């Protein structure tokens, strides 16, 4: 496998990006051809940074953390602004949930592409999914295709954006995680919007994750690991 077949995975420490990391390991030939990057963007719950570090170590991949504090300075969303509580019910029709961070995936993938360029890696892997309940506009395939073109033109590169979960349900994502050997790592992943370990179980992210594992007929490794720990 030549240098251009290397991959860089955007690893948040959550269920989807962890699954994508192990997908990339299988697809691109193991830890020698795969790296991970995590963004410290001023997120309120630092536990996800710890989760990403732990999972990268489990996978045996080189891991880079890049600081981007602008999102915290902008505020206005529940992931970076402590004055805003994540919604427990869906947003009003035509609105996005208050956990939407405007421009986040666009910025992440642009910085990831820059890092990949310096690493001689052609492939970028992200865990975004168009089927996600939130309908975030920067998780849609047409957004990624447009960004891929912009990155190719702006960096004079042949970068390829991969979103292996794009059209999978959460249950199908669980099955994929099983098939690529990610289940053990998922025991250390973090998706709870309230930042608690064990997960709170009632925020929108926890409910979506629980629904996916239930529909897949699989126990959630994180819940199993945390069993018996106090809330």
Q: Which residues are annotated as a binding site for Zn(2+)?
A: 192, 200, 203, 206
The annotation places the binding site for ATP at: 11-21
3-state secondary structure of 38: strand
Instruction: State how far the Cα of 4 lies from the Cα of 71, in Å rounded to an integer.
Output: 31
Q: What is the DSSP string of 52-77?
A: HHHHHHHHT-EEEEEE--HHHHH--S
Closest C-alpha to 127, from 7, 8, 15, 6:
15
Q: What is the DSSP string of 14-36?
A: SHHHHHHHHHHHHHHTSGGGEEE
| Triad 35, 142, 131: Cα angle to 5° | 80
Residues contacting 179, CB < 8 A, separation 6+: none
The annotation places the binding site at: 11-21, 192, 200, 203, 206
Per the listing, tokens 């025991």 go with: 187
Q: Edge-to-edge strands of the sheet including 160-162?
A: 62-67, 34-40, 7-10, 123-125, 160-162
């Amino acid at each position: 496998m030549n240098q251009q077949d290397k991959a860089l995975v955007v690893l948040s420490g959550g269920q989807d990006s962890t699954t994508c990391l192990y997908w990339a390991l299988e697809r691109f030939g193991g830890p020698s051809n795969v790296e991970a990057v995590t963004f410290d963007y001023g997120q309120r719950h630092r536990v996800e940074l710890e989760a990403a570090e732990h999972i990268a170590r489990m996978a045996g991949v080189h891991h880079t953390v890049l600081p981007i504090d602008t999102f915290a300075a902008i505020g206005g969303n529940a992931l970076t602004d402590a004055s805003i509580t994540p919604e427990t019910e869906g947003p009003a029709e035509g609105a996005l949930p208050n956990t939407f961070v405007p421009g986040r995936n666009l910025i992440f993938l642009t910085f990831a592409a820059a890092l990949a360029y310096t690493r001689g890696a052609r492939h970028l892997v992200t865990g975004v999914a168009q089927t996600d309940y939130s309908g975030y506009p920067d998780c849609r395939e047409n957004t990624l295709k447009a960004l891929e073109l912009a990155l190719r033109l702006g960096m004079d590169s042949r970068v390829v954006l991969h979103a292996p979960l794009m059209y999978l349900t959460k249950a199908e994502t669980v099955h994929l995680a099983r098939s690529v050997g990610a289940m053990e790592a998922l025991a250390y992943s973090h998706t709870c919007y309230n930042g608690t370990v064990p997960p709170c179980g009632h925020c929108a992210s926890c409910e979506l994750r629980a629904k996916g594992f239930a529909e897949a007929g699989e126990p959630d490794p994180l819940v199993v690991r945390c069993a018996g720990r106090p809330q």
